[in-house]
């Protein structure tokens, strides 16, 4: 399925779906304790961005319009193409959640997949979208907001340097190429100019916040207008600047199964926004979020896409900007009807330097050990809720 590289103010009843377990328990439970300080932040972000995505994959899209689809094969054929064995497919029928590691194209990419059988019909699952909104009651989410179609500074009014605003403002004022902050050269120059203009070494926290809002708006508008081609690079100390757009494009183009069976979905994801002339065939939403990770604000820009393809339902979450901790994230989930119920397949890929370099394979293995039990717990909760419908 999808191989994939997400408090101020929304509408009165609107909240973006997301979630996260308690941070303390994540560190205490891991059997690979030596890696947890390094990987903790990356894993928290993966969980925050993902938890309710799976919860709503068979929710939002159920209410959406139907795309013109190629003939979808039976769910078993899809699972075989994902190289899920006959034994694991039988385990799914018996109630197990199976997991596997998709192909990774670089030492920065951390990918994983899971699948389960939900013994209910897809039409019985639409209420899960509304229930998923409750997952926003998570302490790691400090703030979030929906971005309007054109995007204005007012959409980002809730972006604050919290927690530890002055300390974080100093980081921005001293920003230089590296991975402490994901900024391009133009953004860093603006913060340096602000620092030079400040008197008596005072920290102009509110002015730093204003520049952050302007930077987030500019990144949103560039992506909204040009898609991945509009994503500004991250300046790094050595070597070429990192292009989150390249990481996301590679992740998307690896999705051979989507290209084969869901060409309309694939075209939207790869060519966005060129295919938006078909905008009535899918639903999309844009959000910013501020996650409190290790006592630092982490700003994320997220593009959520929802599709209905025949009797299948697809959701894609593309996080094309993160201010630090990781570079980008793309994840997807599909709900496929079967004679036994609905098969839910979830795959994700995050790009982060925290699993790169020396010992990359061991770091990735340790990350999966950390991630697996939380995702399984989340999926079990999804199934329990769905089967009560």
226/339: higher pLDDT = 226
Cβ pair 19, 135 in contact under 8 A: yes
CA separation for the pair 332, 336 (Å, rounded): 13
Number of Cα atoms under 13 Å in the Cβ half of residue 227: 14
Task: Point out the least confidently predicted range of 40-54, 226-240, 244-258.
Answer: 40-54
The tens digit of pLDDT for each residue in 67-112 reads 444 567 777 887 888 888 889 989 998 999 999 888 888 888 888 8
Please report the pLDDT score of residue 314 as a whole number.
Answer: 80
pLDDT tier, 139 (very low <50, low <70, confident <90, very high otherwise): low
Other Cβ atoms less than 10 A from the Cβ of 94: the count is 8
Least Cα distance to 244 among 262, 269, 260, 227 occurs for: 227
Which run of H or E residues covers position 286? strand 283-293
SS3 294: coil
Beta bridge partners of 141: 291
Please report the pLDDT score of residue 60 as a whole number.
Answer: 34
Please report the pLDDT score of residue 45 as a whole number.
Answer: 53
Backbone conformation region of residue 294, classed left if phi is above 0, alpha if psi is from -120 to 50, else beta: left
pLDDT tier, 8 (very low <50, low <70, confident <90, very high otherwise): very low
Please report the pLDDT score of residue 70 as a whole number.
Answer: 54
CA separation for the pair 232, 245 (Å, rounded): 8
Cβ pair 42, 326 in contact under 8 A: yes
Least Cα distance to 354 among 324, 333, 381 occurs for: 324
Task: Assess whether pLDDT exceeds 70 at residue 328.
Answer: yes
Please report the pLDDT score of residue 138 as a whole number.
Answer: 47
Residues 6+ apart with CB under 8 A from 343: 75, 78, 79, 92, 115, 116, 117, 118, 335, 336
Average pLDDT score over residue span 292-298: 87
Q: Which CATH number fits domain 23-150+242-386: 3.30.530.20, 3.40.50.300, 3.20.20.70, 3.40.50.10320?
A: 3.30.530.20
Query: Can you give the residue ranges of every domain in the chain?
Result: 23-150+242-386
Cβ pair 172, 190 in contact under 8 A: no
Backbone φ and ψ of 240, nearest 5°: -70, 155
Say what angle helices 205-226 and 165-173 make with each other, to 10 degrees.
60
13-19-24 Cα angle (round to 5): 140
Average pLDDT score over residue span 151-159: 97
Express as a percent the part of the chain with pLDDT over 70: 74
230-348-327 Cα angle (round to 5): 40
The tens digit of pLDDT for each residue in 355-377 reads 888 888 888 888 888 878 877 88
Other Cβ atoms less than 10 A from the Cβ of 304: the count is 20
CA separation for the pair 2, 363 (Å, rounded): 23
CA separation for the pair 229, 280 (Å, rounded): 23
Please report the pLDDT score of residue 279 as a whole number.
Answer: 43
Please report the pLDDT score of residue 123 as a whole number.
Answer: 56
Task: Assess whether pLDDT exceeds 50 at residue 133.
Answer: no
The tens digit of pLDDT for each residue in 16-35 reads 444 333 333 333 333 333 44
Please report the pLDDT score of residue 202 as a whole number.
Answer: 86
Average pLDDT, the chain: 77
Please report the pLDDT score of residue 368 as a whole number.
Answer: 84
The position carrying tokens 């951390």 is 110
pLDDT tier, 6 (very low <50, low <70, confident <90, very high otherwise): very low
The tens digit of pLDDT for each residue in 55-68 reads 334 333 333 344 44
């Amino acid at each position: 399925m999808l191989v994939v590289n997400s408090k101020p103010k929304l509408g009165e009843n609107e909240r973006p779906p997301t979630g996260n377990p308690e941070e303390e328990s994540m560190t205490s439970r891991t059997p690979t304790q030596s890696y947890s300080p390094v990987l903790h932040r990356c894993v928290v972000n993966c969980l925050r961005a993902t938890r309710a995505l799976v919860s709503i994959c068979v929710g939002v899209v159920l209410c959406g319009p139907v795309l013109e689809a190629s003939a979808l094969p039976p769910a078993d054929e899809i699972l075989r193409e994902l190289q899920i064995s006959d034994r694991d497919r039988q385990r799914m029928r018996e109630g197990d959640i199976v997991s596997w590691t998709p192909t990774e194209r670089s030492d920065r990419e951390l990918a994983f997949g899971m699948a389960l059988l939900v013994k209910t019909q897809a039409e019985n699952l639409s209420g899960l979208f509304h229930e998923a909104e409750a997952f926003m009651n998570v302490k790691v989410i400090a703030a979030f907001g929906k971005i309007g179609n054109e995007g204005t500074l007012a959409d980002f009014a809730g972006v604050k340097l919290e927690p530890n605003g002055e300390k974080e403002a100093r980081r921005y004022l001293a920003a230089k190429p590296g991975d402490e902050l994901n900024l391009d050269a133009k953004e860093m120059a603006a913060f340096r100019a602000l620092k030079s203009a400040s008197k008596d070494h005072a920290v102009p926290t509110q002015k730093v916040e204003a520049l952050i809002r302007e930077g987030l708006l500019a990144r949103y508008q560039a992506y909204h207008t040009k898609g991945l081609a509009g994503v500004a690079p991250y300046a790094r100390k050595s070597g070429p600047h990192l292009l989150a757009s390249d990481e996301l494009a590679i992740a998307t183009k690896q999705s051979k199964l989507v290209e084969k069976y869901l060409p309309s979905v694939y075209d939207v994801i790869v060519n966005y926004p060129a295919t938006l002339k078909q905008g009535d065939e899918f639903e999309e939403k844009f959000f910013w979020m501020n996650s409190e990770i290790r006592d630092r604000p982490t700003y994320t820009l997220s593009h959520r896409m929802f599709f209905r393809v025949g009797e299948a339902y697809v959701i894609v979450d593309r996080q094309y900007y993160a201010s630090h901790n990781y570079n980008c994230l793309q994840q997807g989930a599909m709900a496929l009807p079967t004679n036994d119920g609905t098969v839910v397949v979830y795959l994700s890929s995050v790009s982060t330097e925290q699993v790169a370099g020396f010992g990359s394979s061991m770091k990735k293995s340790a990350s999966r050990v950390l991630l697996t039990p939380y995702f399984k717990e989340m999926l079990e909760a999804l199934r329990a809720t769905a089967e009560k419908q």
